[in-house]
Amino acid sequence: MPKPTAIRAELDRILSSTPFAASHRSKRFLRYIVENSFDNAHESLKEYAIALAVFDRDASYDPSVDATVRVEAGRLRSRLRDYYAGEGRKDTLIINVPKGAYRATFVERPRLEEPLASSANLRLLSGERSPRTMRSWRRGIHRRKTRYTPGASQGPTRWRRRPSFRPGRASLLRRSFPTRGRSY
């Protein structure tokens, strides 16, 4: 398990990030979960106890009627995913709240190294086309190809665009047999 000082530092980074900037409820909820996960306080991490301590519900709170804690837990998980996908993608410590529990888990991961700037990456960033793309552009492969295919058995013939992918078996079967007014 990571050191408590490292966990608190990561918690402060998360709470000051963009996904948590305007959400005071998620901030309180995450801080409560992390602090009580240190102490192994299982009773204080129950839905009823969280509703009383974090969301200021009264003693008549009924979890089967009021889903506040469950809804906020989903929002918290979503904000944590957003944080680690954006600002926190290089963080070495991950604070997670798995589904089915209100207990925080702490995972250490190795530091991610920056990829070297290769000439291909620099060309893509500058907007320059690669030589292979230029060849296909000159040959006209960039244009959509069309082919002459007859339409339905009664209808006139028409030009149709080629599919950009190879159709799977199900779509071939659907096209091969007329539905006679039925839709799938």
pLDDT in tens, 89-135: 889 999 999 998 899 999 998 876 655 555 555 555 445 555 555 55
Residue 128 located in a structural domain: no
Q: Which residues contact 64 (CB under 8 A, 6 or more apart)?
A: none
- Strand spans (E) along the chain: 93-96, 105-108, 146-150, 157-161
**pLDDT above 80 for 47:** yes
* Dihedral sign from CA coordinates of 16, 54, 38, 73: negative
Residue 139 located in a structural domain: no
CA distance 68 to 57: 10
Residue 128: both structure tokens together:
């320059």
Note whether 50 and 102 are within 8 A (CB): yes
User: According to the model, what pLDDT value does residue 2 have?
Assistant: 84
Number of domains in the chain: 1
Q: Which residues contact 28 (CB under 8 A, 6 or more apart)?
A: 54
Residue 65 located in a structural domain: yes
Residue 141 located in a structural domain: no
* Residues above pLDDT 90, as percent of the chain: 35
Residue 182 located in a structural domain: no
- Identify which has the larger pLDDT, 173 or 26: 26
Its domain, for residue 10, covers: 4-108
